[in-house]
Amino acid sequence: MAEPSRSSPASTFVIRFWRDWSAGAGRWRGRIEHVQSGERADFVHPEDILRFLRGFGIMPDDQASPPQAQE
């Protein structure tokens, strides 16, 4: 039997942000969680959010960035 896809018709994600003052001037940190599976990841950079979403088939690599303008 084939393994089911991680991608489903609907997925719910919770993203939390907080200010981390232990880094001196403070920086934003966060955590993203996929509600259905309970998987979660901490992040400092927005790219990490996209990487997490791609792991669930939400945003394939070819759709990750807007098309470049043609000159």
- Give residue-wise pLDDT tens across range 18-44: 998 886 777 889 999 999 999 999 999
pLDDT of residue 21: 83
**DSSP track, 19-69:** EEGGGSS-EEEEEEEETTT--EEEESSHHHHHHHHHTTTSS-GGGSSPPPP
Total number of domains in the chain: 1
In a domain, residue 24? The reply is yes
What tokens appear for 39 in the block? 């998987």
In a domain, residue 2? The reply is no
In a domain, residue 68? The reply is no
In a domain, residue 44? The reply is yes
Domain span at residue 39? 13-50
pLDDT of residue 8: 58
In a domain, residue 66? The reply is no
- The pTM of the full predicted model, rounded to 2 decimals, is 0.67
Distance CA 25, CA 33 (A): 27
In a domain, residue 57? The reply is no
Beta strand 13-20 with 40-43 is: unpaired
In a domain, residue 4? The reply is no
Neighbours of 1 (CB within 10 A): 3
pLDDT of residue 58: 86
Q: Is residue 70 scored above 50 in pLDDT?
A: yes
